[in-house]
Structure 1
Amino acid sequence: MAPRPAHVTATRLPRGPGADAEDLYPPDSWGRRTGSGRARVLWGFGLLVAGLVAGRVWLAPAIDWPALQTWATVFVAICVQALPFLVFGVALSAAITAFVPASFWARALPKNPAAAVPVAGVAGAVLPGCECASVPVAGGLMARGVAPAAALTFLLAAPAINPIVLVATAVAFPGQPMMVLARFAASLTVAVLAGWVWARFGRARWLRVPSRHGAETGWEAFRQAMLHDLLHAGGFLVVGGLAAATLNVVVPRAWLDTVAGVPWLAVLVLALLAVILSICSEADAFVAASLASFSPTAKLAFLVVGPMVDLKLIALQVGTFGRAFALRFVPLTFCLAVAVAVLTGWALL
């Protein structure tokens, strides 16, 4: 196969009878900037975040329209709350790319993807971050040769079963240890089931594997990879935050109180609300606990769905793994999360 011309930067390559595995990877230059152009984008992203915070503090109070003030508050809260964990995830992903040899993952995980999935799910407990951090880490794992099913299992499990989230859940639901156990069991079950389903039915053409950022190793490779992933993932975080803030304003609170009395409808409503609100997994338990009119099972659905399917996470998945992936993986994860939450709530709550 002839080498790809240096000027080709499209992320979607032509497919046909002669296409091979190389077509699954974007070119090394995908989404990357060099020299002063990259520096300008990085400074621009930093100024955007600073402008959002400044606008919320000084401009929003001067605006009389309550809906706009609410929109600004939610948007800034989502971005500012998620940004530290996104940076942490990007740094960890860059470290994996630059310093961890690909041979390590071959030794650490079983060669059989079906066996690697539950191992990756349990390993998700070691990442103290939210769903924003798990996307770049999962992308980094794939780039280092980890089976996509195992990396996706880690992506779902990490923000839901890590110690910080479980401790926050225990604090939000004092005297209710079964809620913590139910969240852990349901979330890990969903992550493993989703991984197994993808291992069995997933297709390589549906998943855009992130670039390996070249063959370099060491601190320069770390810097290059971190800049690339931060700029790329940060843009999609802003897109997801815009959508979440808009829907927060549109959905009326009174409507939620009306449907709380219908058990099956309450579960679906809180599951959808978790997608819309896009609350970081370290804070969503306090929101769930405040929904006093809803059943424990409905609250559990909120806690299980939120870290795995929300608007900012969907935007990050689209930007990292491609639209074809998100169109299949997001509905699969949502349906599994709702079903497992209901069964777990029935059994434990």
Structure 2
Amino acid sequence: MTRMSELRTDPQRVWIDEEGPIPPDSWGRETSSRRALPWGFAFVVILLVVGRFALTPHLTAPALQTWATVFVAICVQALPFLVFGVALSAAITAFVPASFWTRTLPGHPALAVPVAGMAGAVLPGCECASVPVASGLMARGVAPSAALAFLLASPAINPVVLIATAVAFPGQPLMVVARFGASLAVAVLVGWLWLRFGRSEWLRIPSRPQGDGPKWAQFGEAMRHDLLHAGGFLILGGLAAATLNVMVPREWLTTIAGVPWLAVLVMALLAVLLSICSEADAFVAASMTAFSPTAKLAFLVVGPMVDLKLIALQTGTFGRAFAVRFVPLTFALAVVVSALFGWLLL
């Protein structure tokens, strides 16, 4: 016969004696985790009920509703283009050999910068798409100065943006010409300046998932990597843009519009804060009738190159050391070049 002492030392086994199975003493008893589960569920329910009555008055405040609307609009507006850019970047990683870029772009970086800037006129997309694409180009061996020129030019001079600008400013073809010329000039100037003064330790080129498996598997892995990485920073930028959008009083804008140079600077700062997608910013600029055409041009040139969600994406992708140098340089050149083109053409 099986001894009871042996039974109690191994509760996980069913011991058999002549009379039948003898289960351990712990069998049939309720574990502590099962006892705690109903209490945890009840606690969550209580929190939901209390939150329903305690937070509802605050959640229905007009300012909070405006903030939520702006945040959702920024993310929903930018996410499709971010996905498009991530997909394009993943396709470059998986399907385009590195030798393609060395054959396509001029060998001298100074000549590659304007060529890469002009290539931005071919790709429809917004600033959210340009960051992962530029990152993919750098990872494939393209000179950073050329990739940065593409990053700045693509969301500002592509066909979709130019057509939207023409629709938003009917009868003003010079606005389209000024936006194209000023944006391309800024992109090329920034690329050349980075080529001359930039340092490799300032720029973190993200590593790309590489593999020897099927091309489509590499494509999926690269897309997943970039989307998870860039999506979080898009949300952070959207949160900041929505908060500042609500906090900036509209009365300030009408007061400043009468001072030409101050109006240009304010519209440039407003483009950074509002973080509107480049496919839609022309309609917002056209609605600000109190400001001069030059100030509106500054809004259109600065927005696709420097805004809060773009700063967040650039910081997360290329590093803080890059962003603290690249963003002020781009902003300053965009304001100066916009004022010059506005004075000449508008």
TM-score bracket for the superposition, by shorter chain length: 0.7 to 0.9
State the TM-score, normalizing by the size of structure 1: 0.82
SS of the equivalent of 2:60 reads coil
In the TM superposition, 1:93-242 aligns within 5 A as: 93-216=89-212, 218-242=215-239
1:342 match:
339
SS class of match (2:220): helix
1:232 aligned partner, one-letter code: H
Q: Counterpart of 1:54?
A: none
Give 1:1-349 correspondences, 5 Å limit.
Answer: 63-216=59-212, 218-349=215-346
**Letter in structure 1 aligned against 2:105:** L
1:85 aligned counterpart, secondary structure: helix
Q: Say what the alpha-carbon RMSD is for the aligned residues.
A: 1.4
1:55 is aligned to none
Q: Which residue pairs with 2:13 in the alignment?
A: none
Structure 2, unaligned runs of 5 or more: 1-54
**Which structure is richer in relative contact order (CA contacts within 8 A, separation 6 or more)?**
1
CA deviations over 1:159-207 (Å, ceiling 9, x no partner): 0000000000000000000000000000000000000000000000000
Q: Which consecutive unaligned segments of at least 5 residues does structure 1 have?
A: 1-58
Aligned counterparts of 1:65 and 1:307: Cα–Cα separation in 2: 31
Q: 1:167 to 1:323 in 2, by over 3 A?
A: same
205-214 vs 84-93, which moves further:
205-214
What amino acid does structure 1 have at the position aligned with 2:169? F
Output the CA distance in 2 between the equivalents of 1:70 and 1:345: 33
Paired with 1:239 and 1:127, the residues of 2 have a C-alpha distance of 26
SS at match of 2:207: coil
| CA deviation string 1:204-245 (max 9, x = no partner) | 000000112124461111000000100110000000000000
1:82-118 CA-partner distances (Å, limit 9, x unpaired): 0000000000000000000000000000111111000
Q: How far apart, CA to CA, are the structure 2 residues paired with 1:66 and 1:253?
A: 15
- Amino acid in structure 1 at the alignment position of 2:93: T
What percent of counterpart residues are identical?
A: 80
* TM-score (ref. length: structure 2): 0.83
Distance 1:249 1:258 in 2: 18
